[in-house]
Chains A and B, each alone.
Chain A
Amino acid sequence: MKIQVHLYGAFRSAAPSPSFSREAVEGMTVKELMESLHLPDTVYRMALVNDIRVKEGTILRDGDEVHIFQPVGGG
């Protein structure tokens, strides 16, 4: 299946381009996608699938658009 991925902030450098489409195995979860991009889980990270806030266990489907960013917390 094919998905669209958009990376923000420091995550942009996790892939050759910050916006790209890629093949994914059926049943791939958001967490597995993040791991495949080597995104660290030691900092807060948030995924939206088709503009909906999702938990990392969410299973991706063909045609999904995923936005991944790092919410910040300082002031």
Chain B
Amino acid sequence: MDLTYWKNLFTEQKLLSIEIDELICGYSGLVRTSAGKEYTGIDLRGIRRVAAEAGISVRESEIAALRLDIIPVRYFRNIASLGAVGQARLLSSSVSVVGAGGLGGLVIELLARLGIGKITIIDGDRFAEDNLNRQVLCREDDLDRLKAEVGEQRVRAINSAIEVTSHPIFLTEENAVELLSDSQVVVDALDRISIRIVLEKVIGKLGIPMVHGAIGGFLGQVATIMPGSNILSDLYGGDAAASARGIETVLGTPTVTPAVIASMEVMEVIKFLLDRGTPLKDEFLYLELENAIFSRINLGR
């Protein structure tokens, strides 16, 4: 076990402690899965006990366990793909989601289950009836509630290890830098174009990437946009006729498309945070769901 790596992974020296290790070992045990696999794991009750007795957060307990190769049971199904180190890294990461609607609700749900340590939700909107076809955070009982608040509640209910903050306000050029300054990457889950262009400018100031996603009918696009990019302002600002609008104004935003794009956006987050796979850097994946055609469109130049 490479201690240097772990010392660098989190600056919380307090987590590198014999006492915490002993607590974790005390509450962990051999777990047998229904498929007949065995691993050393620690369940939710155990993790909470460690946190309470060590005076650390649930998130910190989970990171400490993973360092010992002891798997919090809730992440077991992630581990074969992510590794204990990868999972710990995600628990040490901070991601913002701008928008908690069609794309955002799903992104938030997935980031919570994935185990992203800090999630910031920004959305000033309230749920309306025509959101019900696609916005997973919205049940009939949630109509008129603030989306960001429902999102925060949902994250807490799914994964109490996550430190979640919600801002029930709209992102603007004036507030963006402050709202996003704590994040390593921001996910675009917006529903209109003008603010996306603002977000692209802001990430340039912050030096962090944004994962862009958008839908219209059964069409969708996803890309990781690097700071300093002008792709979005070219796409929507450049040549567009003054009367141009997104095709979603014609095709609507049906149920299925947000789910596909949101999942792809979270996959881009994973690739970026764990430095693996082939990120769609300044490259669109353009999805035409009806004909199952997926095209890579290089927009980098």
Q: Are B299 and A73 in contact (CB under 8 A)?
A: no
Does A55 touch B at the CB level, under 8 Å?
Answer: yes
Q: Give chain A interface residues in 24-52, CB to chain B under 8 Å.
A: 41-46, 48, 51-52
Does A21 touch B at the CB level, under 8 Å?
Answer: no
Does B178 touch A at the CB level, under 8 Å?
Answer: no
Does B266 touch A at the CB level, under 8 Å?
Answer: no
Chain A's closest residue to B240 (CB) is A44
Does B219 touch A at the CB level, under 8 Å?
Answer: yes
Does B153 touch A at the CB level, under 8 Å?
Answer: no
A69 to B246, CA, bound (A): 12
Q: How large is the interface on B (under 10, 10 to 19, 20 to 34, 35 or more residues)?
A: 35 or more
A73: B residues at CB distance < 8 A: 191-193, 196, 214, 216, 236, 245-248
Are A75 and B99 also in contact (CB < 8 A) when A8-B297, A67-B297 are?
yes
Q: Are B103 and A75 in contact (CB under 8 A)?
A: yes
8 Å CB contact of A75 from B189, B249, B301: B189
Q: Are A51 and B301 in contact (CB under 8 A)?
A: yes
Q: Interface residues of A, CB < 8 Å — how many? A: 25
Q: Are A9 and B196 in contact (CB under 8 A)?
A: no
B254-289 near A? 1/0 per residue, CB < 8 Å:
000010000000000000000000000000101010
Q: Are B244 and A41 in contact (CB under 8 A)?
A: yes
Does B72 touch A at the CB level, under 8 Å?
Answer: no
Q: Are A10 and B231 in contact (CB under 8 A)?
A: no
A67 to B301, CA, bound (A): 14
Q: Are A72 and B246 in contact (CB under 8 A)?
A: yes
Are A10 and B219 also in contact (CB < 8 A) when A48-B297, A75-B258 are?
yes
Chain A's closest residue to B214 (CB) is A72
Sample of 15 more A-B contacts, CB < 8 Å, known A72-B248, A73-B193: A8-B288, A8-B295, A10-B217, A48-B297, A53-B231, A55-B239, A57-B239, A71-B214, A73-B247, A74-B246, A75-B99, A75-B101, A75-B102, A75-B190, A75-B215
Task: List 7 A-B pairs, Cβ < 8 Å.
Answer: A9-B286, A43-B244, A44-B244, A48-B299, A55-B239, A73-B214, A74-B252
Q: Give chain A's interface residues, CB within 8 Å of chain B.
A: 8-10, 12, 41-46, 48, 51-53, 55-57, 67, 69-75
For the complex of A and B, list the 9 residue pairs with the smallest distance between their C-beta atoms, beginning with the closest. A73-B246, A74-B248, A72-B216, A75-B191, A73-B193, A75-B103, A74-B253, A56-B239, A43-B247
